[in-house]
Amino acid sequence: MTSSPSLSGVALATLLALGATAADAALPQLNGAPLVIGHRGAAGHLPEHTLEGYALAIEMGADFVEPDLVATKDGVLIARHEPNLIATTNVKDIPKFAARQRVAIVDGVPETGFFASDFTLAEIRELRAVQAVGVRDQGFNGRYKIPTLREVITLVKQKSLAQGRTIGIYPETKHPTYHKSLGLALEDRLLDELTLAGWNDRAAPVFIQSFETANLRELRTKTKVRLVQLVDADGLNPDGSLSFAAPYDKPYDWVVAGRPGLFSDLVTPAGLAEVASYADGIGPWKYYLQSTACKVVVAGACADANGDGLVNEADRTVLPASPVVANAHAQGLLVHPYTFRSEGSRLPLEDQGTPTNEYQRFYQLGVDGVFADFPDAAYAGRSMYLLKAAPVTYRRCLVKGTGCSR
């Protein structure tokens, strides 16, 4: 199940036996072991938002898989990260769709491409997914279809039965204001699908997430499904402070409503109290919880500290953790940061190119789940964390991936 060489059956049994001699300490999580959330499926391994990617994430131990949602011209919810299909499908290579290319304004930003709302579901069925990240395996391009939300739910239910554990979905309403402006509002469509699945209730294995606030408030009046407020930023400054530039500076509904402020306002104690009035958790960019700073700064920018000729996250050093996890937990809010990626260029110096080190670092901060492009690494990191923190209590979670939450 895991890719970790250190978790062989013998080692696992030995550690479990050792752990059984000591009382388990309580975990810093709000509700049991942290969740492994397959980000866009298993986007590090297979093209994002495909049934094959979601299935792989589940086979790698993911507790939840994450379909981002956009609407087709005929109002069907499909799994895509962007309304613009150009980067994640082969649409630009299909001559019959060439005339569909145009400029659209998404959250105030003009984009050129092919937009889901210009395609019927029947036309979407003709497209195939591609790996959007150039350094990742391009060998699966052109093989897999673009799934509907309904197909994702069907897959997850089949996999839950087959694996004997409950696997959930973590749908994100993408650009809610934009979709409303097109007459393709996502919220009721999503709730209709959840109702059809028997999953429109508090106990459903579902979290709904959004970077906007107004649509979460609207959803709170319509459903008891758990809601998560995403908290974005634009980037990281050399000193580890977050930068804020449009369109990643604030929820787009705030722009429309003329509300001042930044995403960071949502993770102050007052902001968290506000979020707790309509949501069950936050999904912050991980640097809100523990940031990184340049090891060497030259002319106001990060320099190549590790001497590999590149300047990236591996040239940054981990800073002390912020109080955001504790403050969110004090409001009863779950904390599910994003996005964890296994490439060495994405890991700061202290993690030494080993993704399980980063996961353990965040699990030890008390995060309640992680959005992982490589769910196998998130699962392996969780096993290592639980073996140290609570091997007896979470034995079933360690061995079978069940009973991870209390």
Q: Which residues bind Ca ion (CB under 5 A)?
A: 304, 306, 308, 310, 315
The least distance separating Ca ion from the CB of residue 271, rounded to whole angstroms, comes to 35
Residue number with CB closer to Ca ion (251 or 348):
348
What is the rounded CA–CA span in Å between residue 21 and residue 341? 35
What is the rounded CA–CA span in Å between residue 81 and residue 361? 27
The least distance separating Ca ion from the CB of residue 304, rounded to whole angstroms, comes to 4
Residue number with CB closer to Ca ion (180 or 295):
295
Nearby residues of 265 by Cβ (< 8 Å), 6 or more positions away: 271
Residue number with CB closer to Ca ion (1 or 305):
305
The least distance separating Ca ion from the CB of residue 286, rounded to whole angstroms, comes to 20
What φ, ψ does residue 316 adopt, rounded to 5°? -115, 155
What is the rounded CA–CA span in Å between residue 80 and residue 172? 10
Residue number with CB closer to Ca ion (82 or 313):
313
- Alpha-carbon separation of residue 179 from 35, 75, 120, 222, 351 (angstroms): 30, 10, 15, 18, 40
| Longest CA pairwise span in the chain (Å) | 68
Residue number with CB closer to Ca ion (194 or 302):
302
The least distance separating Ca ion from the CB of residue 353, rounded to whole angstroms, comes to 11
The least distance separating Ca ion from the CB of residue 244, rounded to whole angstroms, comes to 26
Residues 67, 76 contacting (CB under 8 angstroms): no
The least distance separating Ca ion from the CB of residue 294, rounded to whole angstroms, comes to 11
Residue number with CB closer to Ca ion (306 or 331):
306
Range 327-332 contact pairs with CB under 8 angstroms and sequence separation of 24 or more: 327/267, 327/268, 327/269, 327/272, 328/267, 328/272, 328/281, 328/282, 329/30, 329/366, 330/269, 330/272, 331/272, 331/273, 331/275, 331/276, 332/30, 332/276, 332/280
Residue number with CB closer to Ca ion (23 or 301):
301
E strand map for 202-278: 207-210, 226-231, 235-236, 242-243
The alpha carbon dihedral of 281, 283, 288, 291 has a sign of positive
Instruction: Give 70's strand partners.
Output: 78
Residues 215, 187 contacting (CB under 8 angstroms): yes
Q: DSSP code of 235? A: E
The least distance separating Ca ion from the CB of residue 308, rounded to whole angstroms, comes to 4
Residue number with CB closer to Ca ion (301 or 326):
301
The least distance separating Ca ion from the CB of residue 313, rounded to whole angstroms, comes to 9
Quick check: bond before 176 cis, omega within 30?
no
Give the three-state DSSP class for 44: coil
Residue number with CB closer to Ca ion (111 or 343):
343
Which amino acid is present at 240? G
The least distance separating Ca ion from the CB of residue 317, rounded to whole angstroms, comes to 12
366: left (phi over 0), alpha (psi -120 to 50) or beta: left
The least distance separating Ca ion from the CB of residue 362, rounded to whole angstroms, comes to 22
Residue number with CB closer to Ca ion (81 or 316):
316
